[in-house]
Chain A
Amino acid sequence: MSELRADSIIKSFGTKQVLTDVFVSCKKGEIVGLLGRNGSGKSTLLKIIFGSLSAESKMVQVDHKIIHKVSDSNQRINYLPQDRYLPSHLKIANVINIVCEPTQAKIVKNHRLVKSHLSKKSKQLSGGERRALEILLIIYSHNEFSLLDEPFNGIAPIYKDEIKDRIQERSKEKGFIITDHDYRNVLDIATKVILIHDGGTKLMDSTDDLRKWGYLS
């Protein structure tokens, strides 16, 4: 079974060490919830795993193949950043065709939030519509592991449940690592919860653990 392993990750910004010897793993079929307070290094960790951010030390592997930078993974890992990342000059139908295989592209194109906007450009969508499209593209891409940074941010509550369902459905085919400040949504679907605390990672067994480590009051 495919496995993504990120080990020995150390990252500092100036004199502040944000991540100290972090370990995270995700298997195909798993949804790993990554929680932590503001500034704890969640987004930094995802960017390091993805390969778009360097670190003082890191060992990222997918099935024992070491990944240093984005081009090493052969598109086995993809990443949903917090900010809008879709090319503003392309039509949405074109973007979907580029990112997804034909079968998955059909699913995304037929989604109720996307269907009526296929001939538009992403800059013509509202913030929520654009975010939903971005998430769907990442979820339905052919990559084996998807790293989602704040996927529920800007999404209407009515669509959050649907997105959670779709992530769960797609987790049969791939692995997910999700971080979001809306921790309830993460806990709803996560099969494993990891807390970043004082630069290290701790495996959480229950919400009591989250209280014990000071994430919840």
Chain B
Amino acid sequence: MSSFVKKAYYIFIFQKKFLLPAIIISVLLGFIGHSINGKPIGTNAGLAYLFILPLFQFFIYELRYAHEYYFYYNLGISKIALWIACIVHALILSLATLLL
């Protein structure tokens, strides 16, 4: 496995912890947003995801499991890289829902 693929896999493992709850809450917010502004559920969910994903990383890793960062440091991934990956992931998915 190349170094890039390995690091992407480690980042996926890191985000796996809060991915499902973030998706569920974003979809729920998408439904609520649709009933308020009439825009497509996907667009509202995508917009919610942009904020929910980093919010989950903050609450889960910064406040609750801060020491687990060391596991990823030992794999050569810094906290900044994990935050950038989270924001890029949220941005890509939000843009994708806007374009759909």
With A69-B78, A70-B76, A87-B17 known as contacts, the answer to whether A52 contacts B71 (CB < 8 A) is no
Question: Range of interface residues on chain A?
Answer: 20 to 34
Max chain B Cβ within 10 angstroms of own Cβ: one of A73, A79, A87, A90:
A87
B68 pairs with A88, CB closer than 8 A: yes
- From B13, B67, B76, give the contact of A90 (CB < 8 A): B13
Total residue contacts A-B, CB cutoff 8 A: 52
B77 pairs with A99, CB closer than 8 A: no
A74 pairs with B13, CB closer than 8 A: no
Chain A residues 78 to 99 lying within 8 A of chain B, measured CB to CB, are 78-79, 81, 83-90, 98-99
Interface residues of A (CB under 8 A from B): 50-52, 69-71, 73-75, 78-79, 81, 83-90, 98-99, 138, 141, 143
A141 pairs with B74, CB closer than 8 A: yes
Q: Please report the C-alpha to C-alpha distance between residue A50 and residue B17 in the assembled complex, in whole angstroms.
A: 25
Taking chain A's interface residues, is the majority helix, strand, or loop, or is none over half, making it mixed? loop
Chain B residue contacts of A78, Cβ below 8 A:
74
A99 pairs with B74, CB closer than 8 A: yes
Q: Please report the C-alpha to C-alpha distance between residue A138 and residue B77 in the assembled complex, in whole angstroms.
A: 16
A98 pairs with B13, CB closer than 8 A: yes
B70 close to A (CB within 8 Å): yes
Q: Please report the C-alpha to C-alpha distance between residue A133 and residue B65 in the assembled complex, in whole angstroms.
A: 18
